[in-house]
Amino acid sequence: MQNSLESGGSAALRAAGDRASLQRAVADRLRSQTKPPGSLGQLESLGERLALLQNTLTPRVEISRICVFAGSHGIANSGVSAYPSLVTLQMVANFLAGGAAVCVLARDAGASLHVIDTGVEGTLDPQLALNPAFFSRSQRQGTRSFLEECAMTPAECDGAMAAGAEQVKLALKDGIEILAIGEMGIGNTTSAAALFAALLDLPPAQVVGRGTGIDTSGLQRKQRAVATALAKHAHPRPDTQPARHWLEAVGGYEIAAMAGAILAAHEAHLPVVVDGFISTAAALVAHSLRPGSLDVCFFSHQSDEQGHRLVLEQMGVSAILSLGMRLGEASGAALALPILRASARLLCEMATFESAGVSGPSDA
């Protein structure tokens, strides 16, 4: 059926580049399938988005990859996390050994996994560093504390964003049809909250959550840290875009890398599955730098981290899943991959009333 659909109009539509015609063809296709209109809910709209993004009536997201970007944070030494900064390096080792949650979920989804060190503090076991799925793109052993100075220099920010763009280039070379992104970095919910507060003009109390599970006094320290950072870095250089300023001032190398990946994916029309709270901050940065880049982003889940629902609403996007998760490391993105694959297959493979000999809805 897929080949007949391709020859029956999709190829011509793709050559003509007529988005409006394609949108009508997708709507007609969904309407003619053996189901009540709209009865597959989000699966229909997801399939439509994939079709428009790939400019074809028969979208494919069969071959997938998950990229986990890791980076350490200077702010982690200010009592904003329940775990020590060393855990970032230890978790990178766990990813490469195949023992982390995202490793299990990647195997289940049939996705390959890449781990990218964008600036992790410490030294990885040389044997693990030989893993072909590992990419050492460290800008520095952790960002600086944004309570004292900007978290990263412009050159470091460029380097981290380039590391994200590199993964998109590799994905295209390897025939990857959909890319999922996530992160690891103790202290990065603080960075993400600061980015949300700065770029969406939201009070810290609405976007600062408990992260790894800090107690009430830790939450208060975290809120004060974000408020202090917003005041300290309130005056960007005149020649700097606000999103770029705030990314350098309070962001993380892994957040910059994910923003770079989204920008590169937007240029390539490659679907990107965004993980949770921190990955959404990267998507917000990318959107602020290049409006329209959210077109390639599929937000996998609404994190249980405080503020994520509000941020998604402010950005005008919705999440596919809501499972009370707040782990990070692309775990939610991995879970969404099979759903996106199913949405594309339904659009491509489901019979129509005519082809199946099934009576359509009555006119009465």
Model's pTM, two decimal places?
Answer: 0.94
pLDDT at 146: 98
What pLDDT score was predicted for residue 360? 84
For the chain, the average pLDDT equals 94
Task: Write down the domain spans for the chain.
Answer: 2-60+344-356, 64-341
pLDDT of 1 higher than 70: no
Has residue 349 got a pLDDT over 60? Answer: yes
Q: How far apart are CA 179 and CA 270, in angstroms?
A: 7
Given 1.10.8.50, 1.10.3720.10, 1.20.120.80, 1.10.1610.10, which CATH number is that of 2-60+344-356? 1.10.1610.10
Instruction: Give CA–CA dist 300/195, Å, rounded.
Output: 20
Mean pLDDT of 307-331: 97
Assign 3-state DSSP to the chain and report helix, strand, coil percentages, each to 5.
55, 10, 35
pLDDT for 364 equals 42
β-pair partners for 351: none
**176 in Cβ contact with 107 (< 8 Å):** no
Q: What is the per-residue pLDDT for 298?
A: 98
- pLDDT value at residue 13: 44
Residue carrying structure tokens 């693990």: 128
User: What is 64-341's CATH number, 3.40.50.80, 3.40.50.300, 3.40.50.10210, 1.10.287.90?
Assistant: 3.40.50.10210
Instruction: For residues 331 and 328, give the distance between their C-alpha atoms in angstroms, rounded to a whole number.
Output: 6
| pLDDT > 80? residue 315 | yes
Taking only the tens place, the pLDDT of each residue in 17-58 is 588 999 999 999 999 999 999 999 999 999 999 999 999 999
Q: What is the C-alpha to C-alpha distance for residues 298 and 6, in angstroms, rounded to an integer? A: 25
Which residue is catalytic, options 48, 329, 349, 354? 329
- Three-state SS for 172-204 is HHCCCCEEEEEEECCCHHHHHHHHHHHHHCCCH
CA distance 83 to 85: 7
Q: Is the dihedral of CA 313, 318, 322, 324 positive or negative?
A: negative
Beta strands in the chain, from DSSP E residues, in sequence order: 64-71, 112-119, 134-136, 178-184, 272-274, 297-299
- One fold for both 2-60+344-356 and 64-341? no
pLDDT of residue 14: 44
Does pLDDT of 94 surpass 80? yes
**For residue 12, what pLDDT is reported?**
42
What is residue 17's predicted lDDT score, i.e. its pLDDT? 54
Which DSSP string do the residues of 12-41 spell out, in sequence order?
HHHHHT-HHHHHHHHHHHHHHBSS-TTTTT
| pLDDT tens sequence across 247-294 | 999 999 999 999 999 999 999 999 999 999 999 999 999 999 999 999
**For position 363, what pLDDT does the model report?**
55
The question of whether 166 is a catalytic residue gets the answer no
Q: Encode pLDDT of 71-91 as tens digits.
A: 999 999 999 999 999 999 999
User: With pLDDT > 90 as the criterion, what percentage of the chain qualifies?
Assistant: 91
Q: What is the pLDDT of residues 128-138, one digit of tens each?
A: 999 999 999 99
Structure confidence at residue 4 (pLDDT): 38
Write the CA distances from 65 to 45, 61, 118, 314, 334, integer angstroms.
22, 10, 18, 28, 9
